[in-house]
Amino acid sequence: MTKENFLEEKYQEDLQITNLNNVLKISVYLENKPGTLAEFAKLLKKHEANVIYMIYNEVISENRCEIAFYVKKPEQINSLAHEMNILGYYYNFEYSGADEEKTNKIIGLNLLERFFLNLKKIIGEEEIEKVKEIVMTSKKLSETLVNFNRESGKNLETGQIFNKILVFAISSLSKTKNNFSYKRLPTLPIGDVLLHSFRPPTGGTIYILEGKTETIMIDGTYGIYYEDVKRMLLENHIDPSKIKKIYITHVDADHVGLSGYFEEEYKTEVYLHPSSKGIIENENRAYGTDTPLFQLNHYFTILVNYFTKPKFPKIGKFFDTKPKEFFEAFPVIDYFKLDGTEFKVLESLGGHIPGQVFFLSEELGLFFTGDYLLYIPSLGKEEKSFLNIPKLLMTSTNINSKIFREELEQLKNLAKKIDSQLAKKGKGLLILPGHGDYYPIRLIS
């Protein structure tokens, strides 16, 4: 880069630019392959950026590069940021110096532009204009979106995943009413219970367990789909008013969103972990943890909830949290029954979100695992490509990714152990994850 004069100082005669306090720092996410850093340096040279330093250390991060340069005026930032948005770079700006208020406004507007360009990848212009109008006419919402983008920029790898999931969630706005679609998985008769499974266009998979005397739901997708889901159930000869209990694995909007609507209209009882209360009240899926991503989770929760319209239960019924027994590393904190068949409530170790639980019926061979043990081949093309699923599973929206990976392995081992025991009786264990299709655990090596 020195040979190509990328680091050449062009504006030494301008005292404003050589003031070390008048500096723009960029943290940018770059693909870890030959030539990407040089290409970005060309972009800086094109916009006459007078580089002070570039730092790239693949030991710290194989994708993150930090660059600092002098800026001549705020408009210089605007043109550079605009082209970075068009080219699809994921970045964060930090500025100190003259015209700070004006410069920060420019940076904020470019963060919004980047967000809308990402949204353009999955919804049409007309829908984007509607979202823009919603954002721009609400000062609080636009500020929250800018703050979300700033926080995600401080944690580029994880922030990029949060950003993509948020965009995917917002696309739900364009998939309601006449645009609503769903995939119905084959209904399975298991003992005296019928298992119904539905996958809406975005959000979590909905499971309905229909017994002889009662019907329950496990999780529910985004609240914005409530009327569509009622219509979907009726089309499939399931009366939504018969669903008297809903059991929630965790209170992300794509799992809990429908529950409050059912409670309000049909007096449905909603069961969830007591840690969910703090998450709901504080609009922060990381509430009660000491994660460094606390603020990022807060803005993410506010935005996803705003656009997907969850209705949380007003009178939630909370699981007991005192361990009754242990299944490997997982405490069994409570039980519930469907027509006399027992389900165990297993408590997560805290990797994904506080208050995460799993539901296990050994008798029926059913294991509801929330956002754990997804069967990747069953996910839709849009989910796989836009959410970059392999990377999502490594960083994801997890409160503690290290614990998440460890308990994911422990959960898989537990499922295989139960499956081996059931195999002796000529049965097997079915995994029912919060996204994608159900599948026998034997499919996982």
Assign 23 a pLDDT band (cuts: 50, 70, 90). Answer: confident
Angle separating helix axes 100-119 and 125-136, nearest 10 degrees: 150
**Within this chain, do residues 45 and 74 fall inside the same structural domain, yes or no?**
yes
pLDDT at 16 over 60: no
Tell me if 220 sits within 8 A of 256, measured CB to CB.
Answer: yes
If DSSP codes are grouped into helix, strand and coil, which group holds residue 93?
strand
Query: Does 100 fall in a domain?
Result: yes
Interatomic CA distance for residues 148 and 414, integer angstroms: 37
Query: Does 60 fall in a domain?
Result: yes
**Within this chain, do residues 127 and 89 fall inside the same structural domain, yes or no?**
yes
Per the structure, the complete domain to which residue 128 belongs is given by 23-174
State the total domains in the chain: 2
Q: What is the pLDDT of residue 381?
A: 76
For the chain, what is the total number of helices (H) and then of strands (E)? 14, 18
**Within this chain, do residues 156 and 210 fall inside the same structural domain, yes or no?**
no
Least confident of 189-198, 271-280, 281-290, 374-383: 374-383
pLDDT at 177 over 90: yes
**Within this chain, do residues 37 and 49 fall inside the same structural domain, yes or no?**
yes
Torsion angle in degrees (nearest 10) through CA of 255, 431, 390, 200: -40
**Within this chain, do residues 95 and 199 fall inside the same structural domain, yes or no?**
no
Q: What is the pLDDT of residue 336?
A: 98
Closest CA to 247 of 311, 343, 172: 343
Query: Does 97 fall in a domain?
Result: yes
**Within this chain, do residues 159 and 193 fall inside the same structural domain, yes or no?**
no
The structure tokens 């503690």 sit at: 400
Give the CA angle between residues 414, 340, 266 to the nearest 5°. 100
- What are the C-alpha distances in Å from 420 to residues 115, 190, 332? 47, 18, 20
What's the token pair of residue 127?
């829908």
Query: Does 379 fall in a domain?
Result: yes
Last residue of a domain, one of 156, 174, 192: 174
Query: Does 4 fall in a domain?
Result: no
Query: Does 51 fall in a domain?
Result: yes
**Within this chain, do residues 145 and 211 fall inside the same structural domain, yes or no?**
no
Mean pLDDT of all residues in 166-176:
92
Query: Does 187 fall in a domain?
Result: yes
Provide φ and ψ at 12, rounded to 5°.
-65, -25
Query: Does 119 fall in a domain?
Result: yes
Last residue of a domain, one of 138, 156, 174: 174
Interatomic CA distance for residues 271 and 249, integer angstroms: 9
pTM of the model: 0.86
Instruction: Say how far residue 417 (Cα) sits from the centre of its chain.
Output: 30
Tell me if 375 sits within 8 A of 426, measured CB to CB.
Answer: no
**Within this chain, do residues 201 and 65 fall inside the same structural domain, yes or no?**
no
Query: Is the Cα torsion angle 238, 240, 245, 247 positive or negative in sign?
Result: positive
What's the token pair of residue 307?
């656009």
What's the token pair of residue 233?
């159930």
**Within this chain, do residues 198 and 142 fall inside the same structural domain, yes or no?**
no
Residue 339, CA atoms < 13 Å, CB-side half-sphere: 15
Last residue of a domain, one of 142, 174, 206: 174
Tens of pLDDT along 319-353? 999 999 999 889 999 999 999 999 999 999 876 78
**Within this chain, do residues 211 and 98 fall inside the same structural domain, yes or no?**
no
Instruction: Say how far residue 432 (Cα) sits from the centre of its chain.
Output: 19
Q: What is the pLDDT of residue 12?
A: 40
CATH number of the CATH domain containing 191:
3.60.15.10
Tell me if 152 sits within 8 A of 163, measured CB to CB.
Answer: yes
**Within this chain, do residues 351 and 408 fall inside the same structural domain, yes or no?**
yes
Interatomic CA distance for residues 231 and 309, integer angstroms: 18
For all residues of the chain together, what is the average pLDDT? 87
Assign 399 a pLDDT band (cuts: 50, 70, 90). Answer: low
Closest CA to 352 of 371, 335, 365, 336: 371
**Within this chain, do residues 206 and 338 fall inside the same structural domain, yes or no?**
yes
Tell me if 256 sits within 8 A of 273, measured CB to CB.
Answer: no
